[in-house]
Chain A
Amino acid sequence: SQQGEEDPQALSIQEGENATMNCSYKTSINNLQWYRQNSGRGLVHLILIRSNEREKHSGRLRVTLDTSKKSSSLLITASRAADTASYFCATALRGINTGNQFYFGTGTSLTVIP
């Protein structure tokens, strides 16, 4: 299966601390994306990193990608209570003229304690 695996499964930190979660996958990818899911709601796209990129920043988010190790990490700096959610990595395989095919990981449940 191409499905990625996030690590850790659950993470609990104090507000203001940094949170790091990791994603490992199995086959070559076109790009890797991180999504956030608040309890009982749909997923929201956070950031995309292409296979030829090594690092990407967006606000308090920093994503790294190591294609040689088939792994990615998501760092959330200066966490807030509102960051409490589940975070998923999604690996995108190239589809010829058809859009990417996505495989989601198992998710990391982040709790930020006020």
Chain B
Amino acid sequence: EAGVAQSPRYKIIEKRQSVAFWCNPISGHATLYWYQQILGQGPKLLIQFQNNGVVDDSQLPKDRFSAERLKGVDSTLKIQPAKLEDSAVYLCASSTRLTGGSYEQYFGPGTRLTVT
């Protein structure tokens, strides 16, 4: 079974530029998550999709971040314009329903963003 794919793996941009990340979840996984992980911290959920609908985007800085999941499969996360504090690893995860209603997440390798 193929894992969660993300691209690019690394990106360096200057502040005020825009950037986009792509994620392809595991086939059949209805739920997709984007996390931001700043160095030395745990992942912070930015947005959660169920199929192509948004379940939770309460921690997404909507003035500069946007995400979409057209057709309920792959997803893109965009930052425009980027700030220095956006330097982080952006992780995509997908999940499947386990017995009993619990969910286990599968993570991609992440995209390391450096904003200079």
Contact = CB atoms under 8 A, between A and B. Distances in A.
A107 B98 CA distance: 25
A92 B101 CA distance: 11
A104 B93 CA distance: 13
B42 A106 contact: yes
A101 B102 contact: no
B14 interface: no
A95 B55 contact: yes
B116 interface: no
Contacts of B97: 99
Interface of B is mostly: strand
A103 B91 contact: no
A31 B110 CA distance: 25
A104 B46 CA distance: 12
Nearest to A99: B31
B46 to A, nearest CB: 12
A98 B55 contact: yes
B95 A100 contact: yes
B9 to A, nearest CB: 10
Interface in A56-114: 88, 90, 92, 94-95, 97-107
